[in-house]
Amino acid sequence: MDLYEYQGKQYFARFGIPVSVGGVADTVDEAVAQANKVGYPVVVKAQVQVGGRGKAGGIKLATDADEVRTHAGNILGLDIKGHVVRRLWVEHASDIAKEYYASFTLDRGAKAYLGMVSAQGGVDIEEVAASDPDAIARVSIDPSVGFTEVQARQLVEDAGLDAEALDGAIGILLNLYRAYVEGDADLVEINPLILTPDGRVHALDAKVTLDDNAAYRHPEWDDFRDIDELDERERLARSKGLQYVGLDGYVGIIANGAGLAMSTCDVVNQVGGSPANFLDIGGGANAEVMANALEVIHSDPLVRAIMINIFGGITRGDEVARGIVDALGRTGITTPMVIRLDGTNAAEGREILRGVESDRVISNPTMLGAARTAVELAGAAELRGSEQSRGAR
Ligand code: GDP
Ligand code: MN
C-alpha cells in the first residue's frame, strides 16, 4: 500500500522524524482554515501518489489567505500525470538552506536492505543516479544485524552532507530505519530532507510504501486506506470487515476462500455471465457473516442473481446452510440465488436448505451447474439491459 505524503508524514512523526505542522483540506475553504491554523507562510501541496508534483504546479507557497485561496483553487482538480487532485496538504513553510535525499528499501538481489543518502536532494533521484551516480552514498544492511549509528555516520559523511547537518541527519536516519523495519515498510524515502538556515534537519516530503503482507499485524493501517477511491459497495463491505472487490457484472458472488472466489468468477464468465463482485467470506460462514455478505451484494442495484459457493472444510456444510437460512430471514432479500454446497457435511447442509428452496432460492451441487443456473436466473433480457447501463456507469 502506497501512502499519500500527508499519511507518510503522520507515519514518520510516530517514529520521531521531524515534519512540519499542517493539515489536510478537500476544499478551498478548508485550505484557508488550515493555513490560518498553521500560520503563514504556508505551502499548499497536491496529494497525489506520483512524484514531480512541484514541477507540475502542484506545490505552491502562499503568504496570506488570498494566495492560499488562489493556489488551492488552481491545484484542486488539477491533473498531475493522470492523477486528479482531490485533497491538499497545507503546512507551515520551511526556509531551506540545503536539500538532501535519504531512503531505505529492499535490495532483493543482495538479500539485504539498502540505505541511500545524497547531498543532491530535491530533484528526481533517478536523474542524479543517472548523471552523477557517485553523488549517492549507499550502505548494504544485513537485516539480521541491523543499522548502527556508526553506519549512519559513515553514510552521511560519504554523501558529503554539510557539517552542521550531520548529527540531525544521523538521528533521522536511525529513526527512518526503525520506520522501515519496525513499521513494516517496503520503502521509506525523504526527498527533500532539508537543512534549515538555523541548522535543523527536517523531512519536507514523505514517500512510504507499506508491506501488504504485514497488514494483519497493523490494525492502525486501516486509517491509511484510500476510502475516497472506494465505491459505495466497497465502503459498506469494508465497514463489515469483508474481503470485497466490486466488478462490473450482474452476478453477485459469495465464496469461502480467495481461490474459490476467483474460480467462481471464472466459471461465471465461462458460462457467459459477468461477475458483479469478488467476495471472500473466509472460514467463518456463519449467519452474521452471510447476512453481511448478502447485504453488501444487495446494495448493488445491478445484481440480478447471486451465486453462493461454499466448500466445507473446517467450516461444516450444515453450519453454512443454517447461516444462509438465518441470513435470508434477516435480510429479506428477494434477488434470486443459487447455492452450491460441497465438502464437509454438504449433504446435511443441502437437507437444511430444502426448507427455504423455491424458484428463487435454488440449490445446485456442482459449481458449473450452479453458475449456469445463476446466469439463467439473471435473465437474458435483463442481462442485455444491464450491460447497456454499465456503459453509462
Ligand atoms: P515533489 O515535487 O512531488 O517531490 O514534492 P516535494 O514535497 O518534494 O516538493 C518539491 C519542492 O518544493 C521541494 O524540493 C522544495 O524545493 C519545494 N518546497 C516544498 N515545501 C517547501 C517549503 O516549505 N518551503 C520552501 N521554500 N520550498 C518548499
Ligand atoms: Mn519530493
Q: What is the DSSP string of 124-164?
A: -HHHHHHH-GGGEEEEEE-TTT---HHHHHHHHHHHT--GG
The model's pLDDT over 343-388, given as tens digits with 9 standing for 90+, comes to 999 999 999 999 999 988 999 999 999 999 999 999 843 644 545 4
Q: Is 274's C-beta closer than 6 angstroms to any atom of ligand 1?
A: no
- pLDDT number for residue 53: 95
Task: Yes or no: say if 99 and 121 are a contact pair by the CB < 8 Å rule.
Answer: yes
pLDDT band of 239, cuts 50, 70, 90: confident
Residues 320 and 307: their CA atoms lie apart, in Å, by 14
- pLDDT number for residue 392: 42
What rounded mean pLDDT belongs to the chain? 91
Examine the residue annotation and report whether 189 is marked as an active-site residue of this protein: yes
Tell whether the torsion through CA atoms of 385, 386, 390 and 393 is positive or negative. Answer: positive
**% of the chain at pLDDT higher than 70:** 95
Q: Is 41's C-beta closer than 6 angstroms to any atom of ligand 1?
A: no
Ligand 1 centroid–CA 55 distance in Å is: 10
pLDDT band of 228, cuts 50, 70, 90: low
Examine the residue annotation and report whether 101 is marked as an active-site residue of this protein: yes
Task: Yes or no: say if 3 and 209 are a contact pair by the CB < 8 Å rule.
Answer: yes
Mean pLDDT of the region 197-221: 94
Ligand 1 centroid–CA 71 distance in Å is: 15
Ligand nearest to the CA of 58: 1
- pLDDT number for residue 236: 81
- pLDDT number for residue 329: 87
Q: Is 204's C-beta closer than 6 angstroms to any atom of ligand 1?
A: yes
Three-state DSSP state, 184: coil
> Which pTM does this prediction carry?
0.67
Cα–Cα nearest to 75, from 87, 62, 93, 92? 87
Residues 6+ apart with CB under 8 A from 24: 6, 30, 34, 47, 87, 88, 89, 90
**Cell numbers at residue 125, please?**
533521484
Residue nearest atom 7 in ligand 1 by C-alpha distance = 205
- pLDDT number for residue 391: 45
- pLDDT number for residue 59: 98
pLDDT at 277 over 70: yes
The model's pLDDT over 1-15, given as tens digits with 9 standing for 90+, comes to 899 999 999 999 999
Mean pLDDT of the region 156-184: 98
The model's pLDDT over 53-86, given as tens digits with 9 standing for 90+, comes to 999 999 999 999 999 999 999 999 999 998 999 9
The model's pLDDT over 303-355, given as tens digits with 9 standing for 90+, comes to 999 999 999 888 788 988 988 898 888 888 889 999 999 999 999 999 999 99
Quote the Cα angle for 340-342-343, to 5°. Answer: 160
CA 146 from centroid of its chain's CA atoms: 28
pLDDT at 291 over 90: no
Ligand 2 centroid–CA 51 distance in Å is: 7
- pLDDT number for residue 222: 82
